[in-house]
């Protein structure tokens, strides 16, 4: 994003003008990546903005910080309330992306981060519509392997983890693809650079275990919940690379991407090279849910206005 977002950001309990939100150059997170973050969507619908699974995201932010022994000075409820206040403060009435970020501040240059290390939390908001353009994306299997729990835990949504994703994304773009799929250290499918992955074979849906270095995605959980409710069988299991080439359908899930079909892998068409019926049905149901049109899932939505 090249332009600024909302007029204000929320910074350690205060509303600060976008241009005035700054940090010292010796901020620990700038040097060592000691930060955790979330990505949250707000959907404009019915003359309101519905924030999707807001508290779930803030609770995951706390879990991510806990992995690295960061302290977050605000509870999930306080951060959720601050998000709604920020939407109103910015008079944001269009679909938007919300970025909460907790980072270690002036700790010095040593690596012994503890719960006593100073941290700061910021919430940023900006207008946001569709992440991937078109009706489907072309992906490749990356030569880079996904980070592993034995070195850099994927279960924590930590800023430094995404250097791995940046390498994979750069490679895919250089080679003319829209997105990359990473394998875990055992050679099984893990996830895309910023999304979880699902395969469809004979109307059954398969997705890697989170133990295969995949993030515990909130949109992943949403897709699994909706798919089961719609009558699909959803199976978590290891997925070898070759299975990508024989899948009937493949789709990705993520806050930014939402539900997006993959139409080819490494130049191989997925199915008939178009979005399949299973992917389409889940994507369309997701759209209804986030717009507030499905009563049983309205507890996932927080109205801003």
Chain center to CA of 257:
8
CA distance 141 to 265: 7
CB count within 10 Å of CB 23 equals: 14
Phi, psi of 125 (to 5 degrees): -140, 140
CA distance 66 to 72: 9
CA distance 96 to 185: 35
Name the DSSP class of 267: T
Beta carbons of 42 and 304 less than 8 angstroms apart: yes
Beta carbons of 61 and 35 less than 8 angstroms apart: no
**Active-site residue flag, 157:** yes
Any idea which residue has 């910015």 for tokens? 90
Alpha helix locations (H) across the chain? 28-32, 54-67, 76-89, 162-174, 218-229, 243-246, 277-290
CA distance 113 to 293: 45
Q: Which of 14, 46, 130, 157 is catalytic?
A: 157
Annotated catalytic residues are: 157
């Amino acid at each position: 994003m090249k332009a600024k977002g909302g007029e204000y950001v929320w910074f350690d309990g205060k509303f600060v003008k976008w241009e005035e939100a700054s940090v010292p150059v010796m901020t620990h997170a700038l040097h060592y990546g000691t930060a955790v973050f979330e990505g949250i969507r707000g959907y404009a619908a019915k003359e309101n903005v519905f924030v999707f699974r807001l508290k779930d995201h803030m609770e995951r932010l706390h879990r991510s910080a806990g992995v690295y022994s960061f302290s977050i000075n605000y509870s999930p409820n306080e951060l959720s309330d601050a998000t709604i206040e920020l939407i109103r403060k910015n008079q944001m009435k269009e679909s938007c992306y919300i970025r909460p970020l907790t980072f270690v501040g002036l700790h010095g240059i040593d690596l012994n981060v503890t719960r006593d290390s100073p941290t700061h939390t910021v919430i940023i908001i900006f207008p946001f519509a569709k992440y991937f353009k078109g009706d489907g994306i072309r992906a490749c299997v990356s030569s880079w392997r996904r980070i592993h729990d034995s070195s850099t835990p994927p279960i924590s949504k930590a800023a430094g983890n995404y250097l791995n994703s940046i390498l994979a994304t750069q490679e895919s773009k250089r080679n003319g693809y829209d997105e990359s799929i990473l394998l875990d250290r055992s050679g099984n499918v893990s996830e895309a650079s910023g999304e979880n992955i699902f395969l469809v074979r004979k109307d059954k849906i398969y997705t890697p275990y989170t133990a295969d270095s995949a993030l515990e995605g909130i949109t992943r959980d949403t897709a699994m919940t909706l798919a089961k409710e719609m009558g699909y069988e959803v199976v978590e299991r290891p997925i070898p690379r070759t299975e990508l080439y024989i899948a009937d359908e493949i789709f990705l899930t993520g806050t930014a991407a939402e539900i997006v079909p993959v139409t080819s892998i490494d130049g191989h068409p997925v199915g008939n090279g178009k979005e399949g019926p299973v992917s389409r049905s889940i994507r369309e149901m997701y759209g209804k849910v986030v717009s507030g049109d499905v009563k049983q899932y309205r507890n996932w939505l927080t109205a801003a206005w």
